[in-house]
Amino acid sequence: MLTKYLIVSKEILPEYFDKVIEARNLVETGKKENISEAVKAVGISRSTYYKYKDYIFSPSTHFGRKATLSFVLEHKKGVLSHLLNTLADVEANILTINQDIPINNHAIVNITLDILEMNISMDQLIDSLKKTEGITKIKLLTIE
């Protein structure tokens, strides 16, 4: 499904990978106000946190079921509609959509999907959408 990703036992990974996840959770749950406080609490540097924060995810019991993607879209008629139609065509079920107002002719859109029944891999979807006119940037924020 995700050809660029591996499931690896934490036993063979450096301890700071776990600490990156722990720091992110401290901020997301409000237990720490910012990244500086969180990394200090778990004992890693800010540079370690920022180096790995976008690449380490903690799986849930429903691994591979939900994903959140962030898009930067050009402010042109039909771009968002085309994106949503593409997601429907690959059997991705949209759970949430958060769209900011366009600034400098671009808008940030975050979409959370149920990807359990998608008929292509996440890698294929992202590669396909990168070629779509009007989509300036795509980033996989999280997957579980």
- Which residues, 6+ apart, have CB-to-CB distance to 104 below 8 Å? none
Q: What pLDDT is recorded for position 31?
A: 95
Question: Domain ranges in the chain?
Answer: 10-52, 66-143
Residue 135, number of CB atoms within 10 A of its CB:
19
Q: Say if residue 59 is exposed, middle or buried (CB neighbours under 10 Å; 0-12, 13-18, 19+).
A: exposed
Predicted confidence pLDDT, tens digits, the chain (144 residues): 456 777 788 889 899 999 999 999 999 899 999 999 999 999 999 999 999 988 887 765 545 589 999 999 999 999 999 999 999 999 999 999 999 999 999 999 999 999 989 999 888 999 999 999 999 999 999 887
**CATH architecture label of 66-143:** 2-Layer Sandwich (3.30)
pLDDT of residue 3: 67
**pTM for this prediction:** 0.61
Query: What is the reported pLDDT for 70?
Result: 96
Q: Cα(60)–Cα(104) distance, rounded to whole angstroms?
A: 37
What residues have CB less than 8 Å from 30, skipping those under 6 apart? Answer: none
Cβ 108 vs Cβ 99: under 8 Å: yes
